[in-house]
A and B are shown apart, each in its own frame.
Chain A
């Protein structure tokens, strides 16, 4: 099996952690918790980092096993298939979410009069072709652009410092709203699940664990910085600005002579969205293979394309509908699939080992 290095796994995690957090989420969260949304973010990012450590534990126990085979061993074949079916739906939802949020963003920012089919065409062609090449080339491609993307992100943050208005006012929300905001937007988090779903393809050692943790912590800090800057720049009108990473630079009046600096953010989001969908699509195909015993990725890809076209074009599942589904139904699945399932697997494996040890002794 072609594996990926821990550095590449760390980069995939970074890219996935950025998914759905840097465009719409800051403004949506503001409606619930105002500037305290930063704390929601910090809490949920800490949970993500916590899940990274759960991943390390599980990987240490089962160095070469897949998450599917672990669930199968712990809970049985039928249960594993059912759980994976839910994960399958969840990943599909995540892809649609990324697609819809980015589609809306590009539409507003750079493609004012372009046809809708341009987006469907580009996303499907690029993601299908990268998935067909396999995880390793995709991971290498992300590794190739990692420094460029990091530089773009840091550039956006640095430039926006010039617009920083005043420090956001914290502790200005009631607790219920705070937790409601967090819970309802769980669908934008839990991206560490990706690591579990590709765990058999990651070559991990002690040094690798450190490396992945470092990447996860570093990217979390950058995301928190983005939120603080965003709320510091827009304060009470934060809920109006739906494209955080772009808007913090668009209004950078000090640099307008150079042109629209948010082009950096636009290119950054283009790369990021294509990577995020490609990784998620790869996992979608992998899950498809496991559930339906499909011999090749192409079956998963064709099914995805049909579902995607069906949902996006026929059922016209747009950005607003996707988020509505996300806030109402998805959090319950998310909390179980993202956090509870890996922890249950870890506990069960510990119990099984204890039983085994007791029997042997």
Chain B
């Protein structure tokens, strides 16, 4: 026995809480047979609906069973027969569900469409040479951007849904024959274990994938450009694409990854090696320089070069703050300016810079509140943070931590904190990859692409810091 078409469709609408954008249409074919349709107006391509579904059914079909309707929907690429239990989910996915009187089978046609950004160069991963397209918020476009780089049957994309209410689509992508199956399985099982109401961005997923979620250090790669993800997949990593996020996650992750840039591979390897050394020096300057300056001023003036000491003494004479508070004050000033310039509209950015640099900085020095060496050192350290933009927030916290330790315990405290942090980092394991590889433990093969990188032709094997199915890259 079959219920009336209208009743059935209303029942489905009720299951969707009678939402305003749920549409029900009952039309008649040429032969007068009734065909019902239910869909979300806000999620479908209305033009395609008119030309691809409405017109063929009302004007061309003389029916009448599901197979014949399916055969008439030539413009719709993705159609499938479903049962009554799947109807609501298909509607939510942006499908148009078609049903007939006196039949309990349903046909779902995928007409999902919503406005999405076109791929553009991401602001934090700009390159001088190399591809400029970046991921967008649409999972389909992101998958296409990756697919386009692998015309191979070995490119695998598995879809999952996470989030009780959001039902967010997540795609696990990897290269079959390169990525280690156990890593893929582990990631999959971790994703399946996530029991959360909703996922609004890939950073939500990131926290569930991290083995030490309370750690300061990033343990999952977050990338905005398809060429970088493709390169990482070729190394044997697994990519995780989350619907609604322009950031694709990669695993396993090692600390060194953020010190590398895609630019390094698109230029001469000599320049690549040089720029990596510069980046490491910048990171060291960012973290340690203010703390070292402070410890030299407070604890170890006797080891400071005499000319430098004279300059510092002359410029810090009469300052109202202690050296520690002076440095913290300048650092916080910079942090506030940074936050303001980040949130303000771009046309106000220039004004903020003028207020920050000229009025606050210059006047502060002239008024004798802060010293020029302090300003120079903090400014240099803060700028150096952004040579590794992916780790800027973590490094910023470390900067304050070192500042505090340097100011209260001196050089020994700084060295102690370095040892503590490196030991901590050495204890992190990211899906079989030691976090500090290839330095600790030393993986000789991977040193080729560590700091002093070699030519691409000499990188004949994939990284050995983490599990891989196939180490040979080129013969």
Which positions in A face B, CB cutoff 8 Å?
Answer: 5, 7-8, 106, 109-112, 114, 118-119, 121-123, 125-126, 129-130, 133-134, 136-138, 140-141, 143-145, 257-260, 262-263, 266-267, 270-271, 274-275, 278
Contacts and interface: CB of A to CB of B under 8 A. Distances in A.
Contacts of B417: 126
B302 A133 contact: no
Most buried by A among B304, B308, B411: B411
Given A118-B412, A141-B419, A270-B416, 20 more contacts: A8-B441, A110-B300, A110-B410, A111-B410, A114-B299, A122-B416, A126-B416, A129-B424, A130-B423, A134-B427, A137-B424, A140-B440, A140-B441, A143-B440, A143-B442, A144-B436, A274-B415, A274-B419, A275-B419, A278-B419
Nearest to A5: B441
Nearest to A138: B423
Given A111-B299, A114-B299, A144 B420 contact: no
B412 A119 contact: yes
Given A8-B441, A143-B442, A266-B411, A112 B419 contact: no
Nearest to B308: A259
A106 B440 CA distance: 29
Contact of A114 (B303, B306, B410): B410
A257 to B, nearest CB: 8
Contacts of A134: 427
A259 B305 contact: yes
B440 A141 contact: yes
Contacts of B299: 110-111, 114
A351 to B, nearest CB: 38
Which secondary structure characterizes the binding site on chain B?
helix
B434 A140 contact: yes
B426 A267 contact: no
Interface string B364-395: 00000000000000000000000000000000
B278 interface: no
A274 B412 CA distance: 9
B300 A129 contact: no
Interface size classification for chain B: 20 to 34
B422 interface: yes
Q: Which of B302, B303, B440 has the most CB of A within 10 A?
A: B440
A267 B422 contact: no
When A and B form their complex, which 8 residue pairs have the shortest distance between CB atoms, in order from nearest? A259-B305, A140-B426, A137-B427, A140-B440, A144-B440, A126-B416, A137-B426, A270-B415
B423 A143 contact: no
Interface in B399-440: 409-413, 415-417, 419-420, 422-424, 426-427, 434, 436, 439-440
Contact of A121 (B305, B409, B440): B409
A261 to B, nearest CB: 10
A137 B423 contact: yes
A259 B304 contact: yes
A134 B423 CA distance: 9
A271 B440 contact: no
13 contacts: A7-B442, A106-B412, A110-B410, A111-B410, A118-B413, A121-B409, A140-B426, A140-B434, A140-B440, A144-B422, A144-B426, A266-B303, A275-B419
Contacts of B424: 129, 133, 137
B216 to A, nearest CB: 14
A148 to B, nearest CB: 10
B300, B426, B442: which has the most chain A beta carbons within 10 Å? B426
A168 to B, nearest CB: 29
Interface string B280-312: 000000000000000000011011111010000
A110 B422 contact: no
B412 to A, nearest CB: 5
B441 A271 contact: no
Contacts of B416: 122-123, 125-126, 270, 274
Nearest to A144: B440
Contacts of B302: 110, 112, 260
B305 A260 contact: yes
A144 B439 contact: yes
B308 A271 contact: no
A26 to B, nearest CB: 22
